[in-house]
């Protein structure tokens, strides 16, 4: 594995020299710049100097800062920004890995029912408990349960065949969507229903530092494992027979990848609610920019996904006086942008 | 001991009807075995059993005396290279990456390609004269060029046996012959080859052994001259043919109207 890391550095370097320097620089600097700019955006005006001093004050307590600025930077804006970065990266990487695994560019991370499961988990938690942390845990758990049911169903029908897996996922997803509808139907229309609906539309508005910290573990672990398996993922994406003939145990590998993607997606959805489109489209943008090799595609989707959701969240905070749910904006802004990229890059990419 | 040995192999998709049964075949080093037979007689299925893409219902397949049931997929892949009949491409990998994938069975579970693998890949690309295409998406290549990419991939895999499912089926007249030429060269390098074909002529050109398949069984295994006869061809394909000597060491099989 260590050799793998060393070779990766070498290769990354070689790629940088021979190919698009500019693409790599943009991919790396875009999320970094957006990350810092995002601290300046919001109802309460903060100057760049104030932001920097507030951040520094955490490490050097002698620097004088206002307590309002500290609260806004550390307790309001930081968790949101981190959540946008994590959720954006998580959904995008899971989407890229799923598209490779299922050898199908139309697949998104919720194809096996994780989002519907998580939505149901959140809905029952809101209905019966109403504590945000419980909602989060319930969403995460039910996301995992839904995919487990899909996986077991598909295996019992036919040995890990792609089409059966995807169809089972759609069926289980639809089933959980119906369960969500039951929850909505039963919910008190003044107290609980708006909460459920708002959760399902996706929002990062009420995310706390603790929530972000909790979900960062499954997300980072999952992305790391997927990145370690990047080469196998390449081979898997050319088809089952061929990857078997190249020595890959396709069933085992697909199981690991599905497990990772599900963990990542369920974690992301558990704090953000359902955010569509990102996981389907960011991998395509990645392929247009760096090609289908997961060695480059996975890092690219991390950068693009994080940047995209940061941008969208900034808009959702500033567009209107009240917040616009992020799930709406990902589509409203993402669709035209994607169509533009598709027009420009389709020939080279497909 | 043969390099590859098929013993009493029987396979069924649904446990009711056998796709093929009681197949026996020995393949030695440097052999080029051509399996002939009508559509749907089970050639492709048989070939897919050799590297465990399908599992036999009965019988055994041995590589170097070891039963493939007890060998991991990765070790099989280090011995048997495979080129499928159809390749449906979804993602536009570069020619280089495609060929590099041939190195996969030589990696540990968590490993990715390294210096040595890049070197072997480049050599394979040069061997088939497609080095200049290495940065192109392989989906943009012509059928003939794509076939060379698959050959380069399978060579970078460094197998001892090559399994080819109708390697000439999507190629033009010239590329068919070029492919047979590649097959002969690989055989002279000491790689054993098993292929299926619909062209008796191709067996005359490249093979030293022909297995004729009909109704789920091999009805004969021998040299092309002994198997590809007027009687056999009429029996298997139900058409009239003429076997003609076109020069001292080369025959051809021509269909004629009844």
The answer to whether A345 faces chain B, any CB pair under 8 Å, is: no
How far is the alpha carbon of B155 from chain A, nearest alpha carbon, in Å? 12
**Separation between Cα atoms, residue A212 and residue A332, nearest integer Å:** 26
Q: What percent of chain A has pLDDT over 90?
A: 39
Domain around B50: 4-256
pLDDT tens-digit readout, B190-218: 899 999 999 988 988 888 899 999 888 88
Contacts of B91 in chain A (CB under 8 A): 100, 105, 237-238, 287, 292
Contact B84 A241 (CB under 8 A): yes
> Which of B48, B78, B115 is the closest to A247 by Cβ?
B78
Strand partners, B25: B6
Residue B98 contacts residue B125 (beta carbons within 8 Å)? no
- Between A160 and A64, the higher pLDDT residue: A64
Residue B128, pLDDT above cutoff 60: yes
- The Cα B162–Cα B192 span in angstroms is 6
Looking at the predicted structure, is the pLDDT value of residue A16 above 50?
A: no
Predicted TM-score (pTM) of this structure: 0.88
Measured between alpha carbons, how far apart are the two ends of chain B, in Å?
Answer: 45
Q: What is the chain B residue with the closest CA to A293?
A: B93
* Phi and psi at residue B170, to the nearest 5°: -105, 15
pLDDT of residue A43 exceeding 90, the answer is: no
Does the pLDDT of residue A344 top 70, yes or no? Answer: no
Q: How far is A208 from chain B (nearest CA, A)?
A: 36
Say which CATH number the domain at B243 has. 3.40.50.300
Nearest CA in chain B to A159: B54
The answer to whether A247 contacts B74, with C-beta atoms less than 8 Å apart, is yes
Residue from the list A228, A241, A246 with its beta carbon closest to the beta carbon of B101: A246
Give the nearest partner residue to B104 out of A3, A247, A287, using CB atoms: A247
Task: Measure in Å the smallest separation between the Cα of B91 and chain A Cα atoms.
Answer: 6
Which A residues 199-238 touch B at CB under 8 Å?
Answer: 228-232, 234-235, 237-238
In B, minimum Cα distance to A250 occurs at B73
Most distant CA pair in chain B: distance in Å?
Answer: 61
Which CATH number fits the domain A88-349, given the four candidates 3.40.50.720, 1.10.3470.10, 3.50.7.10, 3.40.190.150?
1.10.3470.10
Instruction: Answer whether B44 touches A (CB < 8 Å).
Output: no
Give me the residue from A105, A229, A242 closest to B84, CB to CB: A242
Q: Would strands B80-83 and B161-164 be described as parallel, antiparallel, or unpaired? A: parallel
Beta bridge partners of B12: B18
Q: Contact B110/A228, CB-based, under 8 Å?
A: yes
Per the DSSP assignment, residues forming a β-bridge with B58 are B10
**Which carries the bigger pLDDT value, residue A9 or residue A212?**
A212
- The full 3-state SS of chain B, as one line of letters, equals CCCEEEEEEEEECCCCCEEEEEEEEEECCCCEEEEECCCCCCHHHHHHHHCCCCCCCEEEEEECCEEHHHCCHHHHHHHEEEECCCCCCCCCCEHHHHHHHHHHHHCCCCCCCCHHHHHHHHHHHHHCCCHHHCCCEHHHCCHHHHHHHHHHHHHHCCCCEEEECCCCCCCCHHHHHHHHHHHHHHHHCCCEEEEEECCHHHHHHHCCEEEEEECCEEEEEECHHHHCCHHHHHHHHCCEEEEEEEECCEEEEEEECC
ipTM comes to: 0.90
CA angle at A115 for the pair A114 and A117, rounded to the nearest 5°: 65
At B34 the pLDDT is: 93
Q: Which of residues 98-137 of A touch B (CB under 8 A)?
A: 100, 103-105
Confidence of residue A10 (pLDDT cuts 50, 70, 90): low
Lookup result for tokens 């370097």: A13
Q: For A103, list phi and psi in degrees, rounded to 5.
A: 55, 40
CA-to-CA distance for B105 and B121, rounded, in angstroms?
14
Query: Could you tell me the sign of the dihedral formed by the alpha carbons of A217, A223, A227, A233, in that order?
Result: positive
pLDDT of A8 higher than 60: no
Q: Quick check: A54 pLDDT over 70?
A: yes
Question: Does residue B229 surpass a pLDDT of 90?
Answer: no
Q: Residue A266 has what pLDDT?
A: 92
Backbone angles phi, psi at A142, to 5 degrees: -70, -30
The continuous run of DSSP H or E covering A40 comes out as none
pLDDT at A324 over 70: yes
For residues B111 and B119, give the distance between their C-alpha atoms in angstroms, rounded to a whole number: 17
Would the pLDDT of B61 be above 90?
yes
Reported confidence tier of residue A294, pLDDT bands at 50, 70, 90: very high
What confidence score (pLDDT) does residue A332 get?
Answer: 85
Residues B129-149, mean pLDDT to the nearest whole number: 89
Contact of B52 with chain A, judged by CB distance below 8 Å, is answered with yes
Read off the pLDDT of each residue in B67-86 and give the average, rounded to a whole number. 91
- Residue in B81, B104, B114 closest to A3 by CB: B114
State the sign of the Cα–Cα–Cα–Cα dihedral A124, A129, A133, A137. Answer: negative
Q: Does the pLDDT at position A288 exceed 90? A: no
Residue pair A138/A124 in contact (Cβ under 8 Å)? The answer is yes
CA angle, residues A272, A274, A277, in degrees to nearest 5: 110
Asked whether the beta carbons of A215 and A268 are under 8 A apart, the reply is yes
With cut-offs at 50, 70 and 90, classify the pLDDT of residue B79: very high
Q: Which carries the bigger pLDDT value, residue A17 or residue A291? A: A291
Rounded CA-CA distance A133/A139 in Å is: 10
Banded model confidence at residue B15, pLDDT cuts 50, 70, 90 = confident
Candidates B52, B109, B152: best to mutate against A (most CBs of A within 10 A) is B109
A vs B, Cβ pairs < 8 A, gives: 102
Closest residue in B to A247 (Cα) is B74
pLDDT of A258 reads 93
**Option in A242, A291, A349 nearest B94 (CB):** A291
> What digits encode the pLDDT tens for the residues B149-165?
999 999 999 999 999 99
CA A41 to chain centre: 22
Query: Would you state the pLDDT for residue A346?
Result: 57
Which positions in chain B touch A291 (Cβ < 8 Å)? Answer: 92-94, 137
Tens digit of pLDDT for each residue in A194-212? Answer: 888 888 888 888 888 888 9
B-contacting residues of A 278-337, CB under 8 Å? 287, 291-293, 295
Q: Give Cβ neighbours of residue B179 (< 8 Å, ≥ 6 apart).
A: B147, B151, B167, B168, B171
* Residue A173 reports pLDDT greater than 60: yes
* pLDDT over 60 at A1, yes or no: no
The band of A304, judged by pLDDT with boundaries at 50, 70 and 90, is: very high
Structure tokens at A187: 């919910």
Q: pLDDT (tens digit, 9 = 90+) per residue, A70-88? A: 888 788 888 999 999 999 9
Structure tokens at B251: 């025959």
Conformational region of residue A169, where left means phi above 0, alpha means psi within -120 to 50, and beta covers everything else: alpha
Q: Residues A296, A298, A302, CA angle at the centre, nearest 5°?
A: 120
Read off the pLDDT of each residue in A41-46 and give the average, rounded to a whole number: 78
Determine phi and psi for B216, rounding to 5 degrees. Answer: 70, 5
Q: Average pLDDT in the A129-140 region?
A: 87
Please determine, for residue B95, whether its predicted confidence score (pLDDT) is greater than 90. yes
Is A58 a residue whose pLDDT tops 50?
Answer: yes
Confidence (pLDDT) at A116: 93
> A309: pLDDT confidence band, cut at 50, 70 and 90?
very high
- Residue A97 pLDDT more than 90? yes
Query: What is the share, in percent, of chain A residues with pLDDT greater than 70?
Result: 91
Specify the pairing of strand B66-67 against strand B58-63.
antiparallel
pLDDT for res A148: 94
C-alpha neighbours within 13 Å on the C-beta side of residue A94: 34
Residue A17 pLDDT:
46
Mutate which of A245, A257, A349 to disrupt the B interface (most B C-beta within 10 Å)?
Answer: A245
Ordered by start, the domain boundaries in chain A are: 88-349
Condensed to tens digits (0 to 9), the pLDDT of residues A234-279 reads: 999 998 889 999 999 988 999 999 999 999 999 999 998 888 889 9
Q: What are phi and psi of B61, to 5 degrees?
A: -125, 130
Report pLDDT for A191.
Answer: 83
Is A8's CB within 8 Å of B94's CB? no
Stretch A275-296: mean pLDDT: 88
pLDDT band of B104, cuts 50, 70, 90:
very high
């Amino acid at each position: 594995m260590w050799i793998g890391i060393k070779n990766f550095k070498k290769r990354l370097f070689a790629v940088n020299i021979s190919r698009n320097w500019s693409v790599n620089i943009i991919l790396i600097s875009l999320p970094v710049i957006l990350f810092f700019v995002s601290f300046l955006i919001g109802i309460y005006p903060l100057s760049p100097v104030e932001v920097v001093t507030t951040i520094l004050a955490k490490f050097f307590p002698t620097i004088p800062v206002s307590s309002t600025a500290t609260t806004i930077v550390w307790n309001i804006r930081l968790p949101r920004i981190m959540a946008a970065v994590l959720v954006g990266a998580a959904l995008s990487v899971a989407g890229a890995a799923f598209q490779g695994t299922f050898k199908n560019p139309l697949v998104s991370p919720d194809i096996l029912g994780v989002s519907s499961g998580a939505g149901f988990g959140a809905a029952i938690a809101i209905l019966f408990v109403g504590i945000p942390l419980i909602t989060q845990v319930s969403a995460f758990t039910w996301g995992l349960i839904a995919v487990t049911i899909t996986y077991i169903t598909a295996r019992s029908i036919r040995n890990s065949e792609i089409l059966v897996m995807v169809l089972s996922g759609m069926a289980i997803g639809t089933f959980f969507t119906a369960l969500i509808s039951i929850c909505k139907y039963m919910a008190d229309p003044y107290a609980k229903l708006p909460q459920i609906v708002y959760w399902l539309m996706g929002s990062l508005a009420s995310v706390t530092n603790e929530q972000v910290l909790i979900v960062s573990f499954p997300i980072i672990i999952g992305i790391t494992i997927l990145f370690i398996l990047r080469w196998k993922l390449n081979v898997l994406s050319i088809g089952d027979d061929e990857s078997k003939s190249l020595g890959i145990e396709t069933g085992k590998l697909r199981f690991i990848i599905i497990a990772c993607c599900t963990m990542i997606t369920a974690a992301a959805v558990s704090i953000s609610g359902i955010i569509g489109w990102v996981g389907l489209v960011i991998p395509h943008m990645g392929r247009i920019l760096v090609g289908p090799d997961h060695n480059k595609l996975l890092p690219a989707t991390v950068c693009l996904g994080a940047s995209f959701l940061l941008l969208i969240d900034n808009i959702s905070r500033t567009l209107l006086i009240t917040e616009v749910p992020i799930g709406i904006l990902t589509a409203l802004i993402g669709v035209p942008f994607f169509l533009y990229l598709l027009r420009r890059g389709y020939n080279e990419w497909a | 001991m043969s390099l590859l040995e098929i013993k009493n192999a029987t396979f069924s998709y649904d446990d009711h009807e056998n796709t093929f049964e009681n197949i026996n075949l020995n393949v030695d080093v440097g052999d080029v075995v051509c399996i002939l037979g009508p559509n749907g007689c089970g050639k492709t299925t048989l070939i897919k059993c050799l590297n465990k893409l399908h599992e036999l219902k009965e019988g055994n397949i041995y590589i170097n005396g070891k039963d493939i049931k007890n060998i991991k997929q990765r070790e099989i892949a280090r011995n048997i290279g495979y080129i499928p009949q159809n390749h449906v491409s979804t993602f536009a990998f570069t020619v280089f990456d495609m060929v590099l994938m041939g190195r996969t069975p030589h990696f540990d579970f968590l490993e990715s390609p390294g210096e040595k693998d890049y070197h072997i890949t480049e050599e394979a690309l040069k061997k088939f004269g497609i080095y200049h295409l290495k940065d192109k998406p392989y989906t943009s290549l012509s059928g003939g060029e794509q076939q060379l990419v698959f050959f380069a991939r399978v060579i970078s895999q460094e197998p001892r046996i090559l399994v080819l499912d109708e390697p000439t089926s999507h190629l033009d007249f010239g590329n068919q012959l070029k492919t047979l030429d590649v097959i002969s060269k690989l055989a002279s390098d000491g790689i054993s080859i098993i292929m299926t074909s619909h062209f008796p002529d191709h067996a005359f050109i490249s093979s030293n052994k022909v297995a004729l398949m009909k109704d789920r069984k091999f009805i004969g295994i021998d040299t092309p001259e002994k198997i590809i006869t007027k009687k056999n061809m009429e029996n298997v394909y139900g058409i009239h043919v003429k076997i003609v000597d076109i020069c001292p060491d080369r025959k051809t099989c021509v269909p004629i109207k009844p």
